[in-house]
């Protein structure tokens, strides 16, 4: 079972609010860059943006933190392996409207 991330719900709400405002004002940006911390945020926002006819132009999935973390002990600094539960994935996605390619 995964840990609960209240920040994910807040970030998802902000993303949804932005899309609602753009649609209401009829001022969708031609290109858009977004960063997501969870696959849930990415999938929710992807569905919203695809309904507005955005297409994914670039997608990068990286680990935001190194596998080895510095740890200072009494005998000096040493490198320790990150715990499994702390490993995260960072999604960086660029979107564009079809008009941006013309």
Whether residue 72 has pLDDT greater than 70:
no
Q: What are phi and psi of 2, to 5 degrees?
A: -80, 165
Alpha carbons 38 and 1: distance in angstroms, whole number: 15
The pLDDT mean for the chain works out to: 81
Q: What is the pLDDT of residues 29-69, one digit of tens each?
A: 999 999 988 888 899 999 999 999 999 999 998 876 655 55
Question: Which residues are CB-contacts of 64 (< 8 A; sequence separation ≥ 6)?
Answer: 88, 89, 90
Alpha carbons 9 and 59: distance in angstroms, whole number: 22
Instruction: Give the residue extent of every domain in the chain.
Output: 30-97
Answer yes or no: are the C-beta atoms of 31 and 94 closer than 8 Å. yes
pTM: 0.70
Whether residue 90 has pLDDT greater than 80:
yes
């Amino acid at each position: 079972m995964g840990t609960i991330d209240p920040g994910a719900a807040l970030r998802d709400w902000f993303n949804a609010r932005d899309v609602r405002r753009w649609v209401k004002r009829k001022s969708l940006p031609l290109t858009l860059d977004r960063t997501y911390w969870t696959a849930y945020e990415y999938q929710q926002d992807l569905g919203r943006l695809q309904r507005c006819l955005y297409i994914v132009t670039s997608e990068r999935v990286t680990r935001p933190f190194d596998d080895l973390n510095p740890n200072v002990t009494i005998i000096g600094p040493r490198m320790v392996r990150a715990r499994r539960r702390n490993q995260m994935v960072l999604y960086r996605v660029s979107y564009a409207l079809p008009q941006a390619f013309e």
